[in-house]
Amino acid sequence: MPRKTKSIKLALPDEFIAQCASDGVAPDVVLRGFIADLCQLMSWAADPRTDGYCSNGSDERRLAREYYDRVGYPWWNKP
């Protein structure tokens, strides 16, 4: 069964595009990797994800969560 995803349109700043180009990585790969790490999306060989999302490792998952929490996103809309 295919996993559900939603598409959004996002304007990316030239600085981000330049950083990715300088490092030789496509912007969508960076964004997908961060999202996968934050949401702990695994893509094991036995059950690979067809949507292209795959965590980069346990440390990356922890650090993505720490960043997200440190910025305060979980509390932005709570009374």
Regarding pTM above 0.75, the answer is yes
What's residue 2's pLDDT?
65
What is the per-residue pLDDT across 51-65, written as a single tens digit (0 to 9) for each?
Answer: 889 999 999 999 999
* Cα 31 to Cα 1, 45, 56, distances in angstroms: 24, 22, 12
Read off the tokens for 63: 């650090």
Of 34, 44, 41, 43, the closest CA to residue 64 belongs to 34
Q: Are residues 16 and 43 in contact, defined by beta-carbon separation less than 8 angstroms?
A: no
What is the per-residue pLDDT across 6-54, written as a single tens digit (0 to 9) for each?
Answer: 999 999 999 999 999 999 999 999 999 999 999 999 988 888 888 889 9
